[in-house]
């Protein structure tokens, strides 16, 4: 049924947005292969859960360090040209890893450096996606964001399943070539997009422009509360997600195919959440809906931690993923509806600084805890973070959203 709903939604989507979504699906499918392969490669190199967690943490640092600068240039530059340049750069970086491996030069340092740089480029790309969506959509931003998130999650669902089987056949390092291919294919889609609308604002000092974005965010109580809420949730989720592969390998002793099934279950939850949120958004007040999503997410983490079945983590994370994706779609729509277009890149970037700052700490803590305690303890930590998010929703203007 959800496939029929997805097909029907795409048929009623404007052509340019449909083209963009199709190309974005290819790109995300490749990204999901990379996300599966790199933790596996790091485990083969070191066998360390802490290293796996630290790789995830390092990939978040560029958002914290350079997010405000990225936002300024996303607002300044033609977003189409920016996205094309980023796509080419990411293609080269991913290709570098299997090339280094071929010559026996791949080390942990290269994984850190590549992950850091890719994260910086991906941040600019993702901010550009949110900023360009209103130009491609025709009115219903929630439905447009839902379409993008649906293919995101569909790719994340299919990618690990493919990656698990391909890793068993080709090895984790070689499936990175498929990610390289995906970047090449998506270039065609990007060339078909229109240039973004020219901004009539006068270019000023970069730091002045950064200050304008931060000032707007801090003065808008709903957007600020959503950012703080997301920071707490990201801390917990990063801790849990960063040790998921380690948990599946060491506790349940799963092979690559079974690990892939768990990740596919996670992404399936995201697909369901991205499709269902449109109807829920039309039926319920956003304040109540956001709170309900957080409570159900708490239940998902508890299930992943306490159920002793090898696919239980996948089901638990699927529940969390459905709620997180629904939350993200609603939040993206709120920002697109409330943030002035000429400030959107900067506000989004500063929001990401707030929401992602806690992620490295969460990932590192997850790695440390899983090395000294049972890894399921990390999932309980993530569940507690969800409860804190619920409290924030009740105590902030979020509860008044309609």
Q: Note whether 57 and 239 are within 8 A (CB).
A: no
Sign of CA dihedral 53, 58, 63, 64: positive
Say if 272 falls within a structural domain. Answer: yes
Note the pLDDT of residue 345.
87
**How many folded domains does the chain comprise?**
1
Q: Note whether 312 and 265 are within 8 A (CB).
A: no
Length of the chain as a residue count: 402
Note the pLDDT of residue 309.
95
- 103-128: pLDDT as tens digits: 999 999 999 999 999 999 999 999 88
pTM of the model as a whole: 0.78
Q: Note whether 114 and 56 are within 8 A (CB).
A: no
Q: Note whether 83 and 401 are within 8 A (CB).
A: no
Structure tokens at 217: 């965010």
Q: Residues 6 or more apart from 131 whose CB is under 8 A from it?
A: 74, 75, 79, 196, 344, 345, 348
Which whole-number Å values give the CA distances from 136 to 8, 17, 141, 196, in the listed order?
Answer: 18, 5, 10, 10
Say if 274 falls within a structural domain. Answer: yes
Burial class (CB in 10 A: 0-12, 13-18, 19+), 354: buried
The whole-angstrom separation of Cα 360 and Cα 157 is 24
Q: Is residue 194 left, alpha or beta, with left meaning phi > 0 and alpha meaning psi from -120 to 50? A: beta
Q: Note whether 224 and 355 are within 8 A (CB).
A: no
**Relative orientation angle of helices 15-46 and 108-136, to the nearest 10 degrees:** 170
Say if 380 falls within a structural domain. Answer: yes
The parts of the chain modelled with pLDDT lower than 50 are 2
Note the pLDDT of residue 158.
81
Structure tokens at 321: 């993923």
Say if 2 falls within a structural domain. Answer: no
H helices present in 199-311, as ranges:
206-219, 221-242, 244-250, 256-283, 286-306
Displacement of CA 111 from its chain's centroid (Å) = 19
The whole-angstrom separation of Cα 367 and Cα 39 is 13
The whole-angstrom separation of Cα 198 and Cα 76 is 9
Say if 402 falls within a structural domain. Answer: no
Structure tokens at 280: 């829920």
Rounded to the nearest 5 percent, the helix, strand and coil shares of the chain are: 85, 0, 15
Say if 4 falls within a structural domain. Answer: no
The whole-angstrom separation of Cα 297 and Cα 320 is 4
Say if 295 falls within a structural domain. Answer: yes
Q: Is residue 104 left, alpha or beta, with left meaning phi > 0 and alpha meaning psi from -120 to 50? A: left
What does DSSP assign to residue 108? H
- 263-316: pLDDT as tens digits: 889 888 988 999 999 999 999 999 999 999 999 999 999 999 999 999 999 999
Note the pLDDT of residue 50.
74
Instruction: Print the domain residue range for 58.
Output: 10-194+203-396
Q: Residues 6 or more apart from 342 whose CB is under 8 A from it?
A: 75, 199, 201
H helices present in 137-194, as ranges:
141-170, 176-192
What does DSSP assign to residue 345? H
The whole-angstrom separation of Cα 141 and Cα 139 is 6
**Relative orientation angle of helices 344-372 and 312-338, to the nearest 10 degrees:** 160
Report the CATH number that the domain containing residue 151 is assigned in CATH: 1.20.1250.20
Say if 69 falls within a structural domain. Answer: yes
């Amino acid at each position: 049924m959800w496939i029929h709903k997805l097909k029907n939604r795409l048929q009623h989507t404007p052509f340019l947005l449909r083209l963009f979504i199709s190309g974005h699906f290819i790109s995300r499918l490749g990204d999901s292969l990379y996300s599966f392969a790199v933790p596996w490669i790091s485990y083969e190199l070191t066998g360390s859960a802490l290293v796996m967690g630290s790789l995830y943490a390092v990939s978040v640092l560029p958002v914290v360090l350079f997010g405000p600068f990225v936002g300024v240039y996303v607002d300044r530059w033609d977003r189409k040209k920016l996205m094309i340049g980023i796509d080419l750069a990411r293609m080269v970086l991913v290709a570098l890893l299997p090339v280094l491996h071929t010559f026996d030069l791949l080390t942990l340092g290269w994984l850190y450096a590549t992950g850091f740089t890719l994260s910086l480029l991906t941040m600019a790309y993702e901010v550009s996606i949110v900023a360009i969506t209103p130009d491609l959509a025709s009115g219903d931003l929630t439905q447009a964001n839902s379409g993008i998130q649906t293919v995101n999650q569909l790719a994340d669902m299919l990618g690990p399943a493919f990656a698990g089987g391909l890793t068993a056949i080709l090895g984790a390092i070689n499936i990175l070539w498929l990610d390289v291919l995906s970047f090449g294919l998506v270039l065609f889609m990007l060339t078909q997009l229109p240039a973004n609308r020219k901004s009539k604002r006068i270019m000023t000092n970069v730091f002045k422009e950064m200050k304008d974005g931060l000032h707007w965010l801090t003065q808008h109580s709903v957007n600020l509360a959503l950012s703080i809420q997301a920071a707490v949730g990201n801390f917990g989720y990063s801790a849990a997600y960063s040790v998921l592969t380690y948990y599946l390998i060491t506790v349940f002793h799963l092979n690559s195919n079974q690990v892939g099934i768990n990740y596919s279950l996670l992404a399936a939850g995201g697909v369901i959440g991205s499709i269902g949120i449109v109807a829920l958004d039309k039926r319920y007040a956003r304040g109540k809906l956001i709170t309900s999503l957080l409570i159900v997410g708490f239940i998902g983490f508890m299930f992943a931690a306490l159920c002793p079945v090898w696919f239980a983590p996948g089901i638990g994370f699927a529940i969390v993923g459905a709620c997180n994706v629904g939350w993200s779609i609603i939040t993206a729509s709120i920002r697109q509806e409330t943030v002035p277009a000429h400030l959107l890149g900067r506000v989004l970037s500063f929001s990401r600084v707030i929401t992602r700052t806690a992620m490295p700490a969460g990932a590192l803590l997850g790695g440390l805890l899983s090395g000294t305690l049972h890894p399921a303890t990390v999932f309980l930590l993530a569940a507690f973070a969800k409860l804190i998010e619920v409290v924030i929703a009740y105590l902030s203007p979020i509860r008044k959203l309609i």
